[in-house]
Amino acid sequence: MLKLYDTTLRDGTQAEDISFSVEDKVRIAHRLDDLGIHYIEGGWPGSNPRDIEFFKEMKRQRLSNSQLVSFGSTRRAGVKAKDDPNIKALLSSGTPAVTVFGKAWKMHVSKALRVSFEENLDMIHDTISYLKKRAGGVFFDAEHFFDGYKEDPEYAVKTLLAAQDAGADYIVLCDTNGGTLPFEAAAMVRDVKRTVRADIGMHAHNDSETAVANTLIAVNEGAVMVQGTINGFGERCGNANLCSIIPALKLKMGIDCITDERLAKLRDTAGFVYELANLPHQKHQPYVGESAFAHKAGIHVSAVLKSPLTYEHIRPELVGNRQRVLVSDLSGRSNILFKAQEYGLDLESGSRMVQEVLSELKALEHRGFQYEGAEASFELLIQKALKKKERYFRLLGFRVIDEKRKEDEAPHAEATIKLEVNGVVEHTAAEGNGPVNALDAALRKALERFYPSIKEVRLLDFKVRVLAGMQGTAAKVRVLVESGDNSEKWGTVGVSDNVIEASWQALVDSLEYKLFKDSKARPKRRAKRH
């Protein structure tokens, strides 16, 4: 059976902008275990205190499906494996299996290690032989194998045979520089399989955008272990992305590497790792990205409504994702009908209301509105067209003051707002670290007395885009706001040649959507309108 080997906690942490705490690593390890990953590489116990602490903590943890693996190098030149501190650290980590890497490229042997080619082979054999008698499983990563093979295939294969003769359970071919192309990888793996009897694995980096392809090709040529990271995290351009590899193996190649139930957890796992890395989710990521099954063009949506297979290569639910239909000036009736169904509205294709919504949508987008990332604003637009949108409050006016008193002091912002809610006038003010922040604070302050649930709303993201830069400071701007509460996230939009007015539109939609959602005003089925 093919084995999945995750190195997010080691290789993944070498990516720029990524740093996991010990607690983060423990939590990710449990998520990977829940996903059904066979081996989880936890780090290099001899390299830093954080990894030492992680392995110490993991001795108190229980994994149900995965085996934890510690990682290190072969012994140093001139030192026996039994006397090498790094080898001792590997064993002291207490993991069921260990992985060691050794040099498979003659250039690295002579330039980096500065030892003879025979000494390098002895280092590989001695290390693995010593560990094999003391660890449950021993894996050998042949670092720079593909580059080494290109320079001297005979010597590169000798490093594999040294590991095999020493008893390595898996011999992993590493495209460490990520420069190998798929047709090259296929030929090299095929040649290795003719010579090496041990089980072969693949470890690919993505510097040529071929890591996933090379990994799948290696499996097709007989590799029975794949190494990679969640979301493709890794040094430079990253590692092979397990979020693409796993569904490709299971759904495209028919290799039952994890269960259907665990595959359906893939998108949640990817999102969890993004969150702990404190990085934005890559929405265009295959399989698990928010846009992976999103449809915008009207002709595509029309076809997808008839059969998802027309524009979807798999059922999104298989990997825990979902189909989405976007609305824009490219939209047709099918987009509007699909979105209406999402919101529990039963409209007919030929209804006047659909045409009115479509015309309004195109007119608004011509003015600069965009609803692809602002579906809450679009839902409110539909409710308004159907005369179902409730008026939660009425603006009587607001004023924003942004004052800078001294050159070396930060500006001071204050907003005053006057609203009417159910006949009651509320007049209040608030300060902020900028005019939009002050306006947001004043709006919430004015409404919370009437609608306490407003306190649950959090501003998650705020983007401003200039729509016509050639107009300079007079240009129209679009503001996209992402908000959330304890159960949901939603996006809203505003457009104006005044950034405060555009922000006001998006902020009002955000709070109105919250109130609309809480009021349960959306019925399960509505009467058809013509």
- Rounded to the nearest integer, the mean pLDDT of the chain is 88
pTM above 0.85, yes or no: no
Give residue 337's pLDDT: 63
**Looking at residue 35, what is its pLDDT?**
98
**pLDDT surpasses 50 at 186:** yes
How many other β-carbons are positioned within 10 Å of the β-carbon of residue 275? 12
From 81-85, 262-266, 427-431, 478-482, the region with the lowest mean pLDDT = 478-482
How do residues 474-511 score in pLDDT, each as one tens digit?
Answer: 678 889 898 988 888 888 999 998 999 999 999 999 99
Contacts 24+ apart (CB under 8 A), 268-275: 268/320, 269/31, 269/32, 269/34, 269/35, 269/230, 269/243, 270/230, 270/231, 270/243, 272/27, 272/28, 272/31, 273/8, 273/28, 273/31, 273/230, 273/231, 273/233, 274/231
**How high is the pLDDT of residue 333?**
55
For residue 95, what pLDDT band results from cuts at 50, 70 and 90? very high
Q: What does the DSSP 8-state code read for residue 111?
A: I
Greater confidence, 146 or 302? Answer: 146
| Residue type, position 345, single letter | L
On the question of pLDDT at 2 being above 50, the answer is yes
CB 287 within 8 A of CB 272: no
- Given a contact cutoff of 8 angstroms between Cβ atoms, the answer to whether 143 and 104 are in contact is yes
Average pLDDT over residues 85-91: 94
**Residue 427 pLDDT greater than 80, yes or no:** yes
pLDDT digits (tens, 9 = 90+) for 438-480: 999 999 999 999 999 999 999 888 888 888 655 666 678 889 8
Per-residue pLDDT at 424: 94
CA angle at residue 294 from 290 to 295, to 5 degrees? 165
Compute the average pLDDT of residues 367-383.
Answer: 78
What percent of the chain has pLDDT above 70? 87
Domain ranges of the chain: 3-258, 294-366
The predicted pLDDT at position 523 comes to 45
205-260 pLDDT tens trace: 999 999 999 999 999 999 999 999 999 999 999 999 999 999 999 999 999 999 99
- Edge to edge, what strands does the sheet with 458-466 contain? 458-466, 477-484, 489-496
Average pLDDT over residues 148-172: 98
Residue 275, pLDDT > 90, answer no
**CATH architecture under which domain 3-258 falls:** Alpha-Beta Barrel (3.20)
CA distance 426 to 430: 13
- Band (pLDDT 50/70/90 cuts) for residue 138 is very high
16-30, 105-119, 462-476, 485-499: which has the minimum mean pLDDT? 462-476
Q: How many Cα atoms sit within 13 Å of 238 on the Cβ side?
A: 17
Q: Which of 49-53, 137-141, 338-342, 418-422 has the lowest mean pLDDT?
A: 338-342
43: pLDDT confidence band, cut at 50, 70 and 90?
very high
Q: Is the pLDDT of residue 111 over 60?
A: yes
Give the per-residue pLDDT at 474: 66
Q: Tell whether the model's pLDDT for residue 432 goes beyond 60.
A: yes
How confident is the model over 515-528, as pLDDT tens digits? Answer: 988 875 444 434 34
pLDDT higher than threshold 90 for residue 150 = yes
Mean pLDDT of 58-71: 96
With a cut of 60, say whether residue 343 has pLDDT above it.
Answer: no
Give the 3-state secondary structure of residue 10. Answer: coil
Residue 380 has what pLDDT?
Answer: 86
Q: Which of 159-168, 319-328, 344-353 has the lowest mean pLDDT?
A: 344-353
**Higher per-residue pLDDT: 50 or 46:** 50
